[in-house]
Structure 1
Amino acid sequence: MAPPNFEHVVKTIASDTNTSTETVSKMYADTWAEYSDGARILDYLTVLVTKRVRENLRGVSRDLH
């Protein structure tokens, strides 16, 4: 199942973090699959996945400096 507003969310994260859309798309899809596996309630999954991807990208950026 594809997350709602997938493309919009990926473009926004990519723009905000100065990361390629391909990288963000892969991270988002992987995180979505991990979080949605076995989940019965998906109402807030987009928010949780978006937050995790942003945090992961911030950590990568911090590690490079």
Structure 2
Amino acid sequence: MPKTDVDQIVHTIAEETNTPEETVARIYADTLDQYRAEARIQDYLPLFAARKVRATLRQSAPTPH
């Protein structure tokens, strides 16, 4: 995947979840590495990793009162 695509994914997730891009980039890279180690078919791994990062960050975000 080209670096510009990864940068755009990270930027979008950071904006959506109000999380620093450095944090999102680290979580995304870790998640993608984990998926790559376990997957036999790797075509959609960036999509799955982005979805997992979004879900993880939304679950860990403080809920407004």
Taking structure 2 as the reference length, the TM-score comes to 0.84
Aligned match of 1:19: 19
The residue type equivalent to 2:6 in the other structure is F
The residue type equivalent to 2:11 in the other structure is K
Q: Deviations over 1:12-40 (max 9, x none)?
A: 00011110000000000000000001433
The number of residue pairs the alignment matches comes to 61
Displacement over 2 Å in runs of 4+? none
Q: CA RMSD in A?
A: 1.3
SS at 2:40's partner residue? coil
CA distance in 1, matches of 2:14, 2:25: 9
* Structure 1: 5+ residue stretches without partners: none
Aligned match of 2:8: 8
Taking structure 1 as the reference length, the TM-score comes to 0.84
* Structure 2: 5+ residue stretches without partners: none
